[in-house]
Amino acid sequence: MSEIQLSSIFAVVAVISSLALLGYFSWKTLMTSNIFQKGVTLYQQENYKSAEAAFRQVIAINSTNDVVHLLLGDTLMQQGKVEEATQQFQDVINRAPKKVDAYLRLANALMRLERKESAIATLQQARDLLQAQRQVQKLEEVNRILEKLKK
């Protein structure tokens, strides 16, 4: 075989492989999106046990999606599984330490667990992030909550 034929064969194989990978990832994204939407719908319908299962399925496919971890935490909170929810919120903070929503949700969970000092410390971290991000409205709300808790 000539050099031109070999390079053509390699080029065709490379293109086919790339298309196969693109197809796989597109399919995986579509499946994840459908399961995620199902979980959101179930949550809105207050079917928390099924929503939890859907969100866990999404996490099994893509474990780094912080939004899904937050929604799973919310779902667990609705079921009274506060310790498990706390872990979800903490995982998000560990992966994305500037995600204020995770701190706010964690503080709420800590209050439900009657860990007031930890909740205050978590809210103070949220306050500092809100200040750095110039989110004035949320910052004022967090400051009001902190004042009430410290009394």
Listed in sequence order, the DSSP H helices in the chain are 3-44, 48-61, 66-78, 82-95, 100-112, 116-132, 136-150
So what's the pLDDT on residue 124?
Answer: 96
pLDDT (tens digit per residue) in 115-146: 999 999 999 999 999 999 999 999 999 999 99
Q: Provide the CA 52 distance to its chain's centre, in angstroms.
A: 13
pLDDT (tens digit per residue) in 21-45: 777 666 676 778 889 999 999 999 9
Is pTM beyond 0.75? Reply is yes
Q: Which 8-state DSSP code applies to residue 134? A: T
Tokens of 81: 């599984």
